[in-house]
Amino acid sequence: MFKPRVYVTRQIFPDALDLIEKFAELELWPDDEPPSPEQLMEAMSNVDGAIINVMDRIDAPLLDAAPKLRVLSQVAAGLDNIDIPAATKRDIMVGYTPGVLAKSTADLAFALLLAVARRVVESDKWVREGNWKISHHPMFWLGSEVNGSTLGILGLGGIGLEMARRGLGFDMKILYHSRTRKRDLEKEYGLKYASFKRVLAESDFLSIHVPLTPQTNHFIGEKQLQMMKPSSILVNLSRGPVVDTDALHQALTNGTIAGAGLDVFDPEPVPTDHPILGLDNVVVLPHIGSASNRSRRDMHLLAARNLVAGLNGDRLEECANPEVYESLGI
């Protein structure tokens, strides 16, 4: 019996691999380091489908080198690493995994917000270095109040909405700016839509959840940072290039804003000698927004189901280019 061939570019949960192996011959990239562009192109040259990761650049030359490819299944909500029009032109379905990671990613965004606001990492380091000599001092380690403050959200998609819901649990006033105004969510949750400039100017905490596109590259730069309160804290769990790293470093150094929590960076991984790592008012994490056992397993299973559906000639549960269905006749 003929089985399609599948390439998986990263380790995924065993039950997701088991699901794929019921329908396909599977080859798994064995290393923690991602395949190089040349290795990826070679591996994709004779496969019918692939499970890919945000670090895998899928462009027109690679797709030209993969003539049998029918479906790409991304383990992520973001799609900035894939040339979607090029895939659509070649009748390749592109699956992805939105929704299942929204809650865990928002959990981490709020954890970063709290960590920076209450100086958690900074004071933990201070204790470990042996500096805690007085049992209590009323003016030590004063941070920013979270409860009752204003949370600004840029991008009210699934993750942005979950971030808003967490803010409401802290009695925060929620301002948001998004490509599309969400009047139903405003009514349901008491959110307030505002202009981009107003969100920047009035937020005590600014949480960024926009996709990376040509329009959002350096969406937050020197000009935007100068519009923010000196006491404000920026949190970024979208993509690193959405924020101009050099401008952010300058703003954190000269007091334009008070602090930042970053789960993404430009570039990734962040160089160990990058000056932003020397700042005490920044918490930097290694792109772990969705890294809970449950969310990652759900992402892997959804990616596997998307892949299998595409290989079987069916519609995907989550498809980034549904316009391809018409040309495929499904």
List, by residue number, the catalytic residues.
Answer: 239, 268, 287
Distance of CA 22 to the CA centre of its chain: 31
Cα dihedral 245/248/253/254 (nearest 10): 140
Pull the structure tokens for residue 264: 């993404």
Q: Beta strands 205-208 and 233-236: pairing type?
A: parallel
DSSP letters of 32-86?
A: SSPPPHHHHHHHHTT-SEEEE-TTS-B-HHHHHT-TT--EEEESSS--TTB-HHH
At residue 186, the 3 state secondary structure works out as helix
Q: Amino acid identity of 27? A: E
| C-alpha distances out from residue 233 to 73, 121, 202, 218, 239, Å | 35, 15, 12, 17, 17
The residue length of the chain stands at 330
Closest to 320 measured CA to CA, from 111, 124, 58, 65: 58
* Cα dihedral across residues 188, 190, 194, 200: positive or negative: negative
Task: Enumerate residues 6+ apart whose C-beta is below 8 A from 30.
Answer: none
Closest to 220 measured CA to CA, from 264, 175, 278, 158: 264
